[in-house]
Amino acid sequence: MSENQVSGPIRIGLVADEPIRVAGLASIFDQPAHECREQLLPVIGSLAELLAGPALAYLVIDLHASSSSLETLDLIRNARPDIRLIVIGPAGNDELVMSSIIAGARAYLDLNAGPEIVRKAIEVVTEGSIWAPRRLLSQLIDRLLKVPETHPSAATPRFTTRERQVLELILMARSNREIATQMGIEERTVKAYVGRLMRKTGVDNRIKLSLSALNLSLAPQKSSK
């Protein structure tokens, strides 16, 4: 089921540093909507203008030429934590990928992605899913949750198997409700797991929890029951 419950066109904000790249992104929407899908309507403007529009739930941001990508993503997260991002950026930059996820990205595409792939990713995100066709997200999460052989156990919190599952889904920008649905548990149980993860890692919100996993590569030495 689509995340967007309102009939009619779905407005997609477009942000890029170069006008030619904005025009290229806008051309993706010239294609007619696929059968059983809502029409996608591009909205072009500055980042500030687009973030000020409360009706805009999705944003495609091209980080091709941005020299302050992480600051831009942090700005978006602070201004509109509810917005769903489709990020286009360089391949191989794990920090940028994870920061994009933390900022609300539901898709991360490398700069070589063609128009058809970008369009497909946008459609998948507007339907409520995550686009990770080239194992970017899954490989990064695996790396973050993998235990380094030489990592001292005293410096690493011990997570249960269920806590690891919750942490993995948090890193994939899933909401508590989405985590509960995927794991087959109640939302209040998810909140309890998140609270325990925060206490174990010494943080006070889920954004810091994700940043801790990114910056410190927090992971358990072994699972406990």
Residue 14 confidence (pLDDT): 92
Those residues of the chain that have pLDDT short of 70 are 1-7, 32-37, 65-67, 102, 132-156, 173, 207, 211-225
H helical segments located in 104-205: 115-126, 136-145, 161-171, 176-183, 187-201
The residues near 97 (Cβ < 8 Å, ≥ 6 apart) are: 89, 108, 136, 137, 140
For 155, which DSSP code? G
Res 67: pLDDT: 55
Domain ranges of the chain: 10-133, 141-216
CATH class of 141-216: mainly alpha
Note the pTM of the prediction, 2 decimals: 0.59
Q: Which amino acid is at 197?
A: L
Terminal CA-CA length for the chain: 34
Contact status, residue 137 vs residue 97, Cβ threshold 8 Å: yes
pLDDT tens per residue, range 24-83: 888 888 876 655 567 888 899 888 889 887 778 899 998 875 557 778 887 888 888 888
Chain centre to alpha carbon of residue 109? 11
Q: What are phi and psi of 142, to 5 degrees?
A: -60, -40
Tell me the C-alpha to C-alpha distance, in Å, between residue 49 and each of 46, 52, 56, 68, 83. 5, 5, 11, 19, 14
- The hierarchical CATH code for the domain 10-133 is 3.40.50.2300
Residue 75 is predicted with a pLDDT of 84
